[in-house]
Each structure stands twice: as structure tokens, then as C-alpha cells.
Structure 1
Amino acid sequence: MMPTAIALPSTDQEIGPRRPGAIYQNTDGRFEVLALITHPGEAAKLLRRDSARWAVIVRDTLRPDGQPFAVGSVWTTSDYLIRSAKEAAPSAAFAPAA
């Protein structure tokens, strides 16, 4: 019997609508997306993992002292978009080095 091939989700499917400027909510809080990192080496470093395809830097808007932090959890049905991303160039502060 041949094993069945399983299609893995694409990076865009895993990230969902989380682009800079977007605000989304789930059971953990309400988050503003500050940056999207798609360079695997930088994403792994930010998430303190051996490997990662991407990372999102967010700030919890429900906490007055909310500090930016990186997340690497995939977009699921428990996440919902409150505000769509802004159409703007990515921040130079979070751009991968050339």
C-alpha cells in the first residue's frame, strides 16, 4: 500500500491576513502586527527555534504596557481579523539584511 501524500499549507496560508498594520484577536489577546519576517534564518532567531519559515512581530493592544514580541503560530479558525493590514512599504527596522 502506497502512503498518501499530504499537502502542507503554504506560508501564506499559515500566516493568514497577518501583515503589518493588521489587528487580529484570539483567546490570547488582541494583537497589532508590527512586522512580518519571511527570512527563515531571521524568523528562527526571533522565535528561538532551530528552524522557522516565518515570524510575526506583534503587540498586544489590550495591555497598556504591551511590548512587541515574535509569534510563529499558524492562523486558525480561532483567530479573527479586526482590521486589515495597511498598504505600506515594510519597515526598514525589520527588513532582512541584504
Structure 2
Amino acid sequence: MKDRTVSAARALHPSDSVTTDHQPTAPLDEALRQVVAREIGPRRPGVVYDNSVSTYRVLNVIRDLDEARRVLKRRAAQFAIELLDLHTGETSTVCTVWTGSDRVLTAVNA
């Protein structure tokens, strides 16, 4: 019987898109960039949005991996978003993904 795990791994990570030292090349970098952009969603500095928890103003979006991981103290963080909770006045930094329950209330031009 054929090992499907290896076949699935090859389908997800074709050998022609990874170098011999296991550093991603441009196709994988671009794919990850697109995933992160979808997870951040429309959140840009100045955007006001709400969800089931509160209403927030985006203060900053950190896309630098090292800085996001340092700020969040999470080794796997791909981005960080600094927020101001408009109900409590508290600031926080999160790495939550944009979901269908999030709604933009005030947009800003990019």
C-alpha cells in the first residue's frame, strides 16, 4: 500500500519550490504573504472595527516576523495588530485572524 502522507506532503510542498537548505523560495514566500494578508483582513492603522467582544481602532499592523513574535511572545506569530479598545480605552496587541463576525465601521484609504 502506498504511503499517502508522503504524497500529500509533496503535493503541498513541491520539491521545486524548496531549496536544499530548507529555506522557502519565492513561490512559498508569496503564498504565505497572501495567507497572512487574508488573516489580517482590512485592518490598517486608523480602521475602526467591531466584533462580538468590543469595538477597536487599529493603531499599528506589524508584519515583520521577528518583531511580531517578540511583541506577542509567540514563536509562531506571523503578524501582530496593536489595538485601542474604544470602550475601555485599553491598548493591546493581538494576532487574531479576521473572521466573518468582524465588521469594519470606519475605513481608511490605503
TM-score using structure 1 length: 0.75
Q: Distance in 2 between matches of 1:34 and 1:86?
A: 15
Is 1:38 the counterpart of 2:89? The answer is no
Secondary structure, counterpart of 2:45 in structure 1: coil
Secondary structure, counterpart of 2:55 in structure 1: strand
Secondary structure, counterpart of 1:10 in structure 2: helix
Q: Distance in 1 between matches of 2:39 and 2:51?
A: 15
Question: Displacement of 1:86 after TM fit?
Answer: 4.8
TM-score using structure 2 length: 0.68
Task: Return the match for 2:91 from 68, 85, 95.
Answer: 68
Question: Displacement of 1:55 after TM fit?
Answer: 0.5
Q: How many residues align?
A: 85
Letter in 2 for 1:37: I
Q: What CA deviation, in whole Å up to 9, does each residue of 1:8-51 have, x standing for no partner?
A: 76111000000000001001100000001000011011111113
Q: Distance in 2 between matches of 1:46 and 1:59?
A: 16
CA contact (8 A) 1:20 1:86 kept: no
* Unaligned runs of at least 5 residues, structure 1: 88-98
Q: Decide whether aligned partners of structure 1 residues 20 and 76 sit closer, same or farther in structure 2, where only a CA change above 3 A counts.
A: same
Question: Could you tell me which residue of structure 2 aligns to residue 53 of structure 1?
Answer: 78
CA RMSD, 1 decimal:
2.1
Larger radius of gyration: 2
Q: Distance in 1 between matches of 2:105 and 2:53?
A: 15
CA contact (8 A) 1:41 1:51 kept: no
Secondary structure, counterpart of 1:12 in structure 2: helix
Question: Displacement of 1:67 after TM fit?
Answer: 2.1
Q: Distance in 2 between matches of 1:70 and 1:10?
A: 20
The structure showing larger relative contact order (alpha-carbon pairs under 8 Å, at least 6 residues apart) is: 1
Question: Could you tell me the percent identity over the aligned residues?
Answer: 35
Question: Could you tell me which residue of structure 2 aligns to residue 12 of structure 1?
Answer: 37
